A and B are shown apart, each in its own frame.
Chain A
Amino acid sequence: MNPTQATLIDLRDAIAARSVSAVEAARAYLDRIEQYNGRLNAYHEVFAERALARAERVDAGEVGGELAGVPIAIKDVLCTEYGQTTCSSRMLAGYRSPFTATAVRRLEDAGAIILGKTVMDEFAMGSSCENSAVGPVLNPWDVTRVPGGSSGGSAAAMAADLCAGAIGTDTGGSIRQPAALCGVVGVKPTYGRISRYGLVAFASSLDQVGPFTHTVADAALLTKVMSGRDPKDSTSAHVDDAQDMADVDQPVDKPRIGIARQYMSDANDPAMNRAVQQALDIYRDAGAEIVDIDLPLTDYGIATYYIVAPAEASSNLARFDGVHYGHRAQQADDLIDLYARSRSEGFGDEVKRRIMLGTYVLSSGYYDAYYNRALKVRRLIKQEFDAAFERCDALLCPTTAGPAFRLGEKADDPLAMYLNDAYTVNANMAGIPGVSLPGGFADHDGHALPLGVQLIGPAFDEARLFRIARLFEKHTDHHTRRPPL
């Protein structure tokens, strides 16, 4: 077996059966990173020595668990006591966290081997990984295009088989959109499913940790391992469905698949709408009931998000002051000047835009007109989903309007960049889970570019959502294609 060409679960089983050693697996991935990371810039930091040492302990039987020996990539927004945690920002260059994020700790407690930290849009703000202070990530399917963002390094690492599974975070689509653009499975679990402890906060009521994999079963396993109540995150939930969640091959009896015309815009790439139509046909042929759903608030998601998320970000990022940790300006007249100079030097333009936008919508005189209004629309969005899930088990829609765009194409037009997340943000607003699945390909200039189809389900119903996702996967082979590296 070539460890880098196996699914996560197959590799895990092969290591458990000792037909492949954990050291061989780690070495195979490290070699591949050595070979391809220079071209893709998916990883910012690789823990080669630490990974091999951990793998030796797995082979010696000292480390076991459900993920024993499985090599995983971590987005550089999750704190680790080893290596750096930089959020791809100049502000946190060289930062060494005193603690490890609960999600990462749970992976390691289950025996996973952390290969390294992946590049992202700075502080998870962006949809292309061009807002990275350590250079952009390139899309393995076409290196003139972006991998999506903000978890683009994790998505590209997964697509290029530079890890057996990768972890990202999703605040408005930052797992699902890059998963779609890189042709892999990406899951944003229900808000509260996975602890946010040790996740550098962007928008605390929206942020959620989740996996990238090649298959639904692999994603379900990683979600299961990371999930559960954590005393260090008071919004984390205990839900006793772990085994159900991982059991994706359980049949779903006559699932009801909802389809909303608001997602099937004529402005989408025609190949994208065809991919969703094909997915719908697969479900219909598999015995699903197709239900027409009206979701008029879909068109208001981005407007709501770009008030709520920057408002929370402006508060969360106030901690970066050049005093306790992070970048400090060399010269300053006094303390206030030190704050302002350190922040201006440490943050990139997109982070500055969002901090200012958030500060503006929260300022007295504008609070009701912007922030409070957005919170009321957020309630309406949640109610619209609640009503939809009375009539269907999952909504089927595109993850994005089209495939990966070119580097630089939207770099100086923030609004155009923001609209990338039009089909993903509302799941974050409502706190419900979404899965992006490899749904087909669009041909552009001789390159096959991946397309993602998305399934959105009710809160804490991942078990059924994964089974419905698996039903589609069983009838397609998009997830088995690999980029021509």
Chain B
Amino acid sequence: MSERISEDDVRQVAKLSRLRLSDDEVAHFTGQLGAVLDYVAKLEELDIEGVSPMAHPMEMFNVLRDDAEAPGISVDEALKNAPDRDDPFFKVPKVLGEGPGA
């Protein structure tokens, strides 16, 4: 079992990821994520001193377009896949509640 990630770490990451996991899933994912983290640790073998990070293959900045009006999708189109709607809004349960995220 990897030392890199504990079951508590996985619970915390799941919470940040907005995922609910059962205790069995926590145990299962901890083992699998630990194996992946052990593997990716091989990057520590490389000398990266002075190398600048590369986040993207096309290192472009500030791609601008004209600030011109153009048609977008209609409200009805935007809402058509909503699981619940109260036109012209998306409908959600109460934001503050008793749940674990509150």
Contact = CB atoms under 8 A, between A and B. Distances in A.
Interface string B42-61: 11101010011111111010
Contacts of A303: 39-43
Interface in A369-384: 370, 372-380, 382
20 contacts: A192-B57, A231-B65, A303-B42, A306-B40, A307-B43, A323-B82, A323-B83, A333-B98, A334-B95, A334-B102, A343-B19, A357-B36, A357-B37, A360-B5, A363-B16, A372-B53, A374-B40, A377-B51, A415-B35, A430-B57
Given A192-B57, A334-B101, A359 B17 contact: yes
Contact of A324 (B9, B81, B96): B81
A340 B78 CA distance: 23
Interface of B: 5, 9-10, 13-14, 16-21, 29, 32-33, 35-37, 39-44, 46, 48, 51-58, 60, 63, 65, 73, 77-78, 80-84, 90, 92-102
Interface of A: 95-96, 98-99, 191-192, 205, 231, 234-235, 237, 297, 299-300, 302-304, 306-307, 314, 318, 321-328, 332-341, 343-344, 347, 352-353, 355-357, 359-360, 363, 370, 372-380, 382, 414-415, 418, 429-432, 459
Given A363-B16, A379-B51, A322 B94 contact: no
Given A234-B63, A323-B82, A377-B48, A306 B39 contact: yes
A375 B93 contact: no
Nearest to A327: B83
Given A357-B36, A431-B57, A300 B101 contact: no
Contacts of A327: 83
Contact of A205 (B39, B56, B92): B56
Nearest to A362: B16
B39 to A, nearest CB: 6
Query: Interface SS of chain B: helix, strand, loop or mixed?
Result: loop
A360 B98 contact: no
A235 B58 contact: yes
A461 to B, nearest CB: 14
CB-based closest 10 A-B pairs: A431-B57, A334-B97, A336-B101, A375-B53, A333-B99, A325-B81, A328-B83, A337-B99, A234-B63, A379-B54
A418 B36 contact: yes
A355 B82 CA distance: 23
Given A192-B58, A352-B29, A415-B36, A337 B43 contact: no
B99 to A, nearest CB: 3
Contacts of A372: 53
B6 to A, nearest CB: 12
B8 to A, nearest CB: 13
Contacts of B21: 344, 352
Contacts of A380: 46, 48, 51
Given A352-B29, A418-B36, A334 B93 contact: yes
Given A325-B81, A343-B18, A378-B53, 9 more contacts: A192-B58, A297-B46, A324-B90, A336-B102, A352-B19, A353-B36, A372-B53, A377-B43, A459-B57
A369 to B, nearest CB: 9
A426 to B, nearest CB: 12
A468 to B, nearest CB: 22
Contacts of A418: 36
A441 to B, nearest CB: 31
Contacts of A237: 58
Contact of B55 (A324, A355, A375): A375
A376 B99 contact: no
A303 B16 CA distance: 23
A323 B79 CA distance: 10
Residue of A98, A99, A321, A380 contacting most chain B CB atoms (<10 Å)? A98
A205 B44 CA distance: 23
A339 B20 CA distance: 9
B33 A360 contact: yes
B58 A334 contact: no
A271 to B, nearest CB: 27
Contacts of A363: 13, 16
B97 to A, nearest CB: 3
